[in-house]
Structure 1
Amino acid sequence: MCGRFAQYSSRDEYFESFGLKADEIQYDPEPIGRFNVAPGTKVLLLNERDEELHLDPVIWGYGPEWWDKQPLINARGETAATGRMFKPLWNHGRAIVPADGWFEWKKEGNKKQPYFIHHKKNQPLFFAAIGKAPYNKDHGHEGFVIVTAASNKGMVDIHDRRPLVLTAEAVREWLSADTTPERAQEIAHDAALPEKDFTWHPVSRKVGNIHNQSSELVEEIDDPVT
């Protein structure tokens, strides 16, 4: 995790959740409408630049010049702040992915059943992310990764890792250039939503094809793989 997620609400729905006023950021009020966001595509990323909030399209994936493998899409929250690969991004490239939920696949025999995981009250989610700043410039394969946390309190039956979802109240401090790397570690530990705030249901296996983007992909199905 996280290998696929949904970002379909309107920008104002995301922003209103953490108290952002209309005059604090320029954005399109139309729904984003992406029900099947895949790695390697550009994702709208909330970030702070020059003491202002911005929403920029940024490649989901990170592979610096010396990295000879596929770009990484996730970073473990337990080690991202100190490891060689991600420490510079943690210090200077913290961002937020506004989202509505994410997908996980559970193996059932020789098949895999996808599930859509979302907030129990259908509230917007804010995935902690880190990447190559500034985000208004093209850095090639050096985009961003989603920070993940362990799923050890109720969600492990779906997957043992999940996105680090921050509370709405923590978003601005996470993004702020005034927030120290050490304080960001505290936020990641103390301001993450617990597993009990989420629910999930089986969805169509059509989500496995990145070309499928309709709203039916997040709808519960009656005949999951068993």
Structure 2
Amino acid sequence: MCGRFAQYRSRDDYFDALGIDDDELIYDPQPVGRYNVAPGTRVLLLNMRDEHLHLDPVFWGYGPEWWHKQPLINARSETAPTGRMFKPLWHHGRAVVPADGWFEWKKEGSRKQPYFIYHQHGEPLFFAAIGKAPFDKEHGHEGFVIVTSASNKGMVDIHDRRPLVLRADAVEEWLSAETSPERAQKLTEQAALPESAFRWHPVTKKVGNIHNQGEEMIQETAETS
């Protein structure tokens, strides 16, 4: 986790859910329309620069020059604040991915069934993220990763990790340069939505192909083969 998610609502919907009133933001009622977002693509990322909020398209993945493997796409909330790879990003590159849900694959017999996981009341989600700032500049494969937390109960039958979803009222504090790294770590513990806030249902296996897009990717299905 997290290897695929959906970001299909409009900017307006995400901003309204956050209660944002910032003249610097570009509002747009047109849906983003991405039902099957994959690593290695550019994703709209909410971040703060010069005391204003911005939404920039940023590469999903992080691989600095000394990293000779595939770019990483997730960072564990328990180790990211202090680890060699992610500590600088935790200090100076906190961001948020506005999303509508994410996908997980559960092993059922000899097959894997994809599930779509979303807010129980259908509300937008805000994934904690860290990356290479400033996000309006090109950094190659030094993009961003989604912060994950342990799924200790309730969702362990789907996956043992999940994106760390922040409450809407904690997003601006997470993004603020005034928030210390230590306080940011506290937010991951105190301001994350619990497993009980989510629901999930099986979806088509076509979601496994990144070329498949459209609302059918998130619709519940009885497909089992």
Under TM normalisation by the shorter chain, which class is it?
over 0.9
For the aligned residue pairs, the C-alpha RMSD in angstroms reads 0.9
Residue identity opposite 1:32 in structure 2: V
Residue identity opposite 1:85 in structure 2: M
Q: Deviations over 1:2-54 (max 9, x none)?
A: 00000000111111111112634113221000000000000000000011100
> Which residue in 2 is equivalent to 1:194?
194
Give the gaps of 5 or more residues in structure 2. Answer: none
> Which residue in 2 is equivalent to 1:182?
182
> Which residue in 2 is equivalent to 1:95?
95
> Which residue in 2 is equivalent to 1:137?
137
Distance in 2 (alpha carbons) for counterparts of 1:53 and 1:13: 16
Distance in 2 (alpha carbons) for counterparts of 1:145 and 1:203: 25
> Which residue in 1 is equivalent to 2:26?
26
Asked whether 1:219 is paired with 2:213, we answer: no
| Identity among equivalent pairs (%) | 74
Distance in 1 (alpha carbons) for counterparts of 2:173 and 2:22: 19
Check whether the contact 2:24–2:54 (CA below 8 A) recurs between aligned residues.
no
Residue identity opposite 1:182 in structure 2: E
Give the gaps of 5 or more residues in structure 1. Answer: none
- TM-score norm. by structure 2 comes to 0.98
Residue identity opposite 1:73 in structure 2: I
Distance in 2 (alpha carbons) for counterparts of 1:78 and 1:72: 16
- TM-score norm. by structure 1 comes to 0.98
Asked whether 1:14 is paired with 2:11, we answer: no
Distance in 2 (alpha carbons) for counterparts of 1:50 and 1:190: 27
Classify the secondary structure of the residue corresponding to 1:56.
Answer: strand
Q: How does 1:83-162 map to 2 (within 5 A)?
A: 83-162=83-162
Q: How many residues align?
A: 225
> Which residue in 1 is equivalent to 2:64?
64
Residue identity opposite 2:222 in structure 1: D
Classify the secondary structure of the residue corresponding to 2:90.
Answer: helix
Distance in 1 (alpha carbons) for counterparts of 2:181 and 2:224: 43
Check whether the contact 1:203–1:224 (CA below 8 A) recurs between aligned residues.
no
Asked whether 1:209 is paired with 2:212, we answer: no
Distance in 1 (alpha carbons) for counterparts of 2:24 and 2:121: 27
Q: Deviations over 1:184-207 (max 9, x none)?
A: 001011000000000000000000
Per-residue deviation, 1:224:
3.0
Q: Deviations over 1:162-201 (max 9, x none)?
A: 0000000000000001000010001011000000000000
Q: How does 1:163-182 map to 2 (within 5 A)?
A: 163-182=163-182
Q: Deviations over 1:55-101 (max 9, x none)?
A: 00000000000001000000000010000000000000000000000
Distance in 1 (alpha carbons) for counterparts of 2:7 and 2:89: 23
Classify the secondary structure of the residue corresponding to 1:44.
Answer: strand
